[in-house]
Amino acid sequence: MKRYSIDISYDGTVYAGWQVQPTDLSVQEVIEKVLLKLTSETIKIHGSGRTDQGVHAKRQVAHFDLEKEWVPRRLYAAINALLPPDIRVLKVRNVRSNFHARSTAKSKEYRYFIWNAQSISPFDRLYKTEISRKLDIKRMRAAAKLLEGKHDFAAFTASSKTTIKSTVRTIFSLEVKAKGNNIIIIAKGSGFLYKMVRSLVGWLIEVGDGSADPEDTTEVLASCKRTSRVPTAKAKGLFLWKVNY
């Protein structure tokens, strides 16, 4: 068996997320069907992590094994020829047999895009979340600083069918950048829990509009309990930006 990794970019608008679902179409399912058509091999691809319904990826990474050996550039061209236009393979590589897209990843970067004004452009409506109430960037940055580092992020995750050993994670940096009406929240970390990034963004929005104080962040973290104080931001503004190995 030969192992390959692929870098993938996709618009998640019409998909039920990355992971195969019982009824709804996922990005993983689309790619697996393309590989079956190309290779006549039933293949399971393994992503670096799952993205939720409506979440996009600038650069997701996945791996899979094939019995027949392919030249990476030919496999790249063949896959893209069969994929729908909202999914694209950016690169195909030969990798070692012990490479695993999820478990060997060193860090991930997510970016969340906000339009902080009314009347979002129709060309941005699927890729940014519109928030008309004015957000205070300084307050958001103060709260973001308190979320950096190694913490138990149980208060910033949602219940999932997947069993996990720990809710402790490390955020290397959580930046809030602003230019005009555009706000970008950039989260870099060793890994993220289910809906964790959207929960972090939801909290920063609460702080930004004055519904919570930056200092409340420490209390929420220490509670290790998810409550209605931490809303989940909408999916469409979120992008899996980069996976580092």
- Beta strand 238-244 pairing with 56-66: parallel
152 tagged catalytic? no
Given 11, 24, 52, 152, the catalytic residue: 52
**Measured distance CA(197)–CA(41) in Å, rounded:** 35
As a whole number of angstroms, the distance between CA 57 and CA 130 comes to 19
Spatial separation of the C-alpha atoms in residues 30 and 145, rounded to whole Å: 39
Asked if 126 and 11 count as a contact pair (C-beta separation under 8 A), the reply is yes
Q: How many Å apart are CA 137 and CA 130, to the nearest integer?
A: 16
Neighbours of 225 (CB within 10 A): 10
Active site residues: 52
